[in-house]
A and B are shown apart, each in its own frame.
Chain A
Amino acid sequence: MGIELWMRENPMTYIWLGSYAVSMLVFAIEIVMVINRRKNTLNQIRMMRNSGDNE
Chain B
Amino acid sequence: MAINWFKYSAPTTFYGLAGKLIPWFAVPAVILFAIGLYIGFAVAPIDATQGEYYRIIFIHVPASILSMFLYMIMAGYAALGLIFNTRLSAMMASAIAPTGALFAFISLWTGALWGKPTWGVWWLWDARMTSELILLFLYLGFIALHASIDDPRRADRASALLAIVGSVNVPIIYFSVKWWNTLHQGSTIKFTGTSMHVAMQQAMFTMFAACWLYAAAVVLMRVRSIILERERNTTWIAELPEVKR
What is the interface of chain A, defined by CB distance below 8 A to chain B? Answer: 4, 7-8, 11-12, 14-15, 18-20, 22-23, 26-27, 30-31, 34-35, 37-38, 41-42, 44-46, 48-49
What is the interface of chain B, defined by CB distance below 8 A to chain A? Answer: 37, 51-53, 55-56, 59-60, 63, 98-99, 102, 105-106, 109-110, 113-114, 116-117, 214, 218, 221-222, 224-225, 228-229, 232, 237-238, 242-243, 245
Which A-chain residue is minimally distant from B222 (CB atoms)?
A34
In the complex, how many angstroms separate the beta carbon of A53 from the nearest chain B beta carbon?
10
Inter-subunit contact A19/B56 (CB<8 Å): yes
Inter-subunit contact B238/A49 (CB<8 Å): yes
Inter-subunit contact A34/B221 (CB<8 Å): yes
Which A-chain residue is minimally distant from B52 (CB atoms)?
A11
In the complex, how many angstroms separate the beta carbon of B128 from the nearest chain A beta carbon?
17
In the complex, how many angstroms separate the beta carbon of A13 from the nearest chain B beta carbon?
10
11 further A-B contacts with Cβ under 8 Å, apart from A23-B63, A41-B228, are A11-B51, A14-B117, A15-B56, A19-B114, A26-B106, A30-B98, A38-B225, A38-B228, A41-B229, A41-B232, A46-B243
| A-B CB contact pairs (8 Å), 28 listed | A4-B116, A7-B116, A11-B51, A11-B117, A12-B52, A15-B55, A15-B113, A18-B113, A19-B59, A19-B109, A19-B113, A19-B114, A23-B59, A23-B106, A23-B109, A27-B214, A34-B225, A37-B225, A38-B224, A38-B228, A41-B228, A42-B228, A42-B242, A42-B243, A46-B243, A46-B245, A49-B238, A49-B243
Docked complex Cα distance between A15 and B51 (Å): 12
B237: chain A residues within 8 A (beta carbon)? 45
Docked complex Cα distance between A23 and B57 (Å): 12
In the complex, how many angstroms separate the beta carbon of B207 from the nearest chain A beta carbon?
10
In the complex, how many angstroms separate the beta carbon of A23 from the nearest chain B beta carbon?
5
A23: chain B residues within 8 A (beta carbon)? 59, 63, 106, 109-110
Docked complex Cα distance between A15 and B243 (Å): 44
Docked complex Cα distance between A54 and B51 (Å): 68
Inter-subunit contact A15/B53 (CB<8 Å): yes
Given A19-B109, A23-B63: A45 and B117 interface contact (C-beta under 8 Å): no
Inter-subunit contact B232/A48 (CB<8 Å): yes
A14: chain B residues within 8 A (beta carbon)? 53, 113, 117
In the complex, how many angstroms separate the beta carbon of B222 from the nearest chain A beta carbon?
5
In the complex, how many angstroms separate the beta carbon of B239 from the nearest chain A beta carbon?
11
Given A12-B52, A30-B102: A45 and B243 interface contact (C-beta under 8 Å): yes
Which A-chain residue is minimally distant from B59 (CB atoms)?
A23
